Amino acid sequence: MKIKFFFILLVLAAIGFWQFQLPILAPEVTFTSITGKKIELIKLQGKPVIVTFWATDCAGCIKEVPHLINLYNQFHPKGLEIIAVAMYYDPPNHVVEMTKAKQIPYDVALDLTAAHAHAFGQVQLTPSTFLISPTGHIMTQITGEFDFADMKQQLEKLLTG
C-alpha cells in the first residue's frame, strides 16, 4: 500500500513539475500608447518584447528607465520592442510629462482600467517586467528592478537564435 501511494505521489509530482516548466503564453492584449497608437501584442510575435509595468511615483521604475532606453537603443534595430505600461492610478498627464522629460523612445501605454495588469497576472507592484520570446511565451517575469546585465544577455540569446 505504501509503495502504491509513493508511486502515485511521484507521478503527481512529476506532472506538477512538467506543468511548471511549460512556458506561459503572453496574454492577447491591445495597448493604447499615449500617442493613440494601438499595439496588439500578438502582432509582435517574431520579435522579443519587454512589457514593463511602472508608475511615475515609483523610484525603482524611474531608475530602470535609462536601462530600458539603453536596451531599446541597442536591440530595437535587431527587433526588440518595449512597451511601458503606466499603472491605472498614475495620472495620464504625469505619464506624458515623465515620458517627455526622460525622452523615452519606446512605446508608453496607459492602463486606465487595470485590464492589462489583470491580464498579466494581477500585477500590483512596480516595476514588474515581462520578457516575451519571439514565440509569444513569457520567458522571464521580474517584480522589482531587473538586472540589466542579465536582461541584456537574455536578449542577445533570443536575437541570435
Q: What integer pLDDT is reported at residue 160 of this predicted model?
A: 87
* Side-chain-side CA neighbours of residue 112 (13 Å): 6
* Average pLDDT in the chain: 90
Residue 87 CB neighbour total at 10 angstroms: 24
**Segment 139-161, tens digit of pLDDT:** 999 999 999 999 999 999 999 86
Mean pLDDT computed over 78-96: 97
Mean pLDDT computed over 1-8: 56
Q: What integer pLDDT is reported at residue 8 of this predicted model?
A: 54
* Sequence-separated (6 or more) residues with CB below 8 Å from residue 63: 145
Name the percent of the chain lying above pLDDT 70.
86
Mean pLDDT computed over 106-128: 97
Mean pLDDT computed over 40-47: 96
Q: What integer pLDDT is reported at residue 4 of this predicted model?
A: 58
Q: Is the pLDDT of residue 132 over 50?
A: yes
